[in-house]
Amino acid sequence: MTNPNPLAASASAHLAVTQSEAAPDVIDFGLGHPGPDLLPLGLLAHAAATRLQGDDSSLLQYGHEQGDGYFRQALAAFLTRHYAAPVDMDELFVAGGASQALDLICTLYTQPGDVVFVEEPTYFLALRIFADHRLRTVPIATDGDGLIPAALADALAQHRPSLLYTIPSFQNPSGVTLSLPRRQQLVALAQEHNFLIVADEVYHLLSYGAAPPPPLATYAATGHVLALGSFSKILAPGLRLGWVQAAPQHIQRLVNSGLLDSGGGLNPFTSGIVRVALEEGWQDAHLTHVRQVYGRRANALTAALRAQLGELVSFTAPDGGYFHWLTLPEQYDGEALFRQAAAYKVGFRPGARFSATGQLQHCLRLSFAHYDEAQLAEGVGRLAALLAKNG
Ligand SMILES: Cc1ncc(COP(=O)(O)O)c(C=O)c1O
């Protein structure tokens, strides 16, 4: 059948060659985004139809700088339910996703050459944003409980960071969650040494087993935490909608940026539609659904890895988020494996991309978010064949 929309055809042809799309016959564990079956077209069609009827055209106007008040009210109520801690709409700033929020924070809070502390390993595309701002990233060691406070204290003896960037819950790429005592120690160190924590909490609501400790957003009142949230992982990345939770002085600083002076609040149209999904409880229901699906996928990937690669790889089964982080024997090189992977119709992200210093070559990040259980098991079979060839 010919595609009735030539623009759609050329758009998808373009997407096929970008980093974030895989060829149809490849099982690409590198894709860290929801599978097409989890993108809620019907939900958003209802929300859009509801919001666009009537005569309130305000979502088509330049937006309120902090973000539409009704949307922030609905978001604060949603977060209060799910964080088990009160969230006030006045502490929320609406952004076009966590990435845009991080970029804006770098613009406002850093100068080229400043030091940013990052976890080792960390989210590889945050490293790209820091590079755009000409920042120097200094890695801080982590273990099974997240960032190691003693390693942070050592680094603080040598550097005065502008920011510390952390992914405290179900980390990308390691899946690790920062323990409660360490959350408290981290905030205490930020207060003592007067630096800002940027807590990227985009996976916090995606728990499939034990709930993580309260988000770092709950420490926003200290003035040392800017917490990022997003609808990308709990609703749809194409919405480009997220938020910052922070103390009033930080919200003011974001609101007063030149970007907002010129363009108004970020994403008023989409937030007007997502507001309906929040108010009607559709976002809550969708969150319950994706948690169940992702939980099953996480278990399926764990089982397939144990069955097919148990001797070779070590990993901790994640309790939430999107990722398994595999450690291979030291002689394996993730980038070399990556170059051969296409021939095996499988994909993943090599570990060194998540290191501020190019370490972790023998690690791989696998995401279970994009594929169903059978595809995940098939993909592990292909990975096993690739590793056997390189063993
Ligand atoms: C840790 C982390 N932060 C941010 C993002 C991107 O978030 P957004 O789509 O809201 O910009 C991702 C997506 O993979 C992520 O893993």
Atom of ligand 1 lying closest to residue 97 CA: 10
Sign for the CA dihedral angle at 156, 159, 162, 165 comes to: negative
- Per-residue pLDDT tens, the chain, 391 aa: give them: 333 343 443 333 333 333 467 888 999 999 999 999 999 999 999 999 999 998 999 999 999 999 999 999 999 999 999 998 999 999 999 999 999 999 999 999 999 999 999 999 999 999 999 999 999 999 999 999 999 999 999 999 999 999 999 999 999 999 999 999 999 999 999 999 999 999 999 999 999 998 999 999 999 999 999 999 999 999 999 999 999 999 999 999 999 999 999 999 999 999 999 999 999 999 999 999 999 999 999 999 999 999 999 889 999 999 999 999 999 999 999 999 999 999 999 999 999 999 999 999 999 999 999 999 999 999 999 999 999 999 8
Whether 295 lines ligand 1, by a CB cut-off of 6 Å, is no
Whether 123 lines ligand 1, by a CB cut-off of 6 Å, is yes
If you search the block for the tokens 């901790």, which residue do you land on? 316
| Neighbour count for residue 348 (Cβ, 10 Å) | 23
What is the C-alpha to C-alpha distance for residues 13 and 9, in angstroms, rounded to an integer? 6
| Neighbour count for residue 384 (Cβ, 10 Å) | 19
Phi, psi of 92 (to 5 degrees): -105, 140
Residue nearest to atom 13 of ligand 1 (CA): 32
Whether 367 lines ligand 1, by a CB cut-off of 6 Å, is no
Whether 240 lines ligand 1, by a CB cut-off of 6 Å, is no
Q: Which residues, including other chains, have CB under 8 Å from residue 279's CB and lie 6 or more apart?
A: 74
Give, for ligand 1, the residue of 106, 171, 226, 233 to mutate: max count of ligand atoms closer than 8 Å to Cβ: 233
Encode burial over 265-297: b for 16+ CB neighbours within 10 A, e otherwise. Answer: bbbbbbbbbbbbbbbeebbeebbeebbebbbeb
Give, for ligand 1, the residue of 75, 230, 367, 368 to mutate: max count of ligand atoms closer than 8 Å to Cβ: 230
What is the C-alpha to C-alpha distance for residues 224 and 233, in angstroms, rounded to an integer? 25
Q: What is the CATH number of domain 47-280?
A: 3.40.640.10
Q: Long-range contacts: 52-59, Cβ < 8 Å, 24+?
A: 52/273, 58/268, 58/272, 59/268, 59/269, 59/271, 59/272, 59/273
Atom of ligand 1 lying closest to residue 242 CA: 10
Q: How far is CA 354 from CA 51, 137, 378, in A?
A: 40, 12, 26
| Neighbour count for residue 94 (Cβ, 10 Å) | 26
Whether 119 lines ligand 1, by a CB cut-off of 6 Å, is no
If you search the block for the tokens 């080792």, which residue do you land on? 120
pLDDT at 337: 97
Whether 26 lines ligand 1, by a CB cut-off of 6 Å, is no
CA of 181 relative to ligand 1 center, distance in Å? 25
pLDDT at 141: 98
Instruction: Name which of 375, 374, 316, 351 is nearest 28 in CA terms.
Output: 375
Sign for the CA dihedral angle at 265, 266, 270, 276 comes to: negative
Whether 32 lines ligand 1, by a CB cut-off of 6 Å, is yes
Atom of ligand 1 lying closest to residue 32 CA: 14
CATH 3.40.640.10, the chain: domain bounds: 47-280
pTM: 0.94
CA of 201 relative to ligand 1 center, distance in Å? 9
Strand partners, 314: 327
Whether 30 lines ligand 1, by a CB cut-off of 6 Å, is no
The answer to whether the CB of 337 falls within 8 A of the CB of 390 is yes
pLDDT at 84: 84
pLDDT at 210: 87
CA of 227 relative to ligand 1 center, distance in Å? 13
CATH 3.90.1150.10, the chain: domain bounds: 23-39+284-390
What is the C-alpha to C-alpha distance for residues 244 and 225, in angstroms, rounded to an integer? 10
Whether 99 lines ligand 1, by a CB cut-off of 6 Å, is yes
Whether 98 lines ligand 1, by a CB cut-off of 6 Å, is yes
Instruction: Name which of 26, 1, 23 is nearest 13 in CA terms.
Output: 23
Three-class SS state of 246 = coil
> Does the domain formed by 23-39+284-390 have CATH 3.90.1150.10?
yes
Q: How far is CA 40 from the centre of its chain?
A: 19
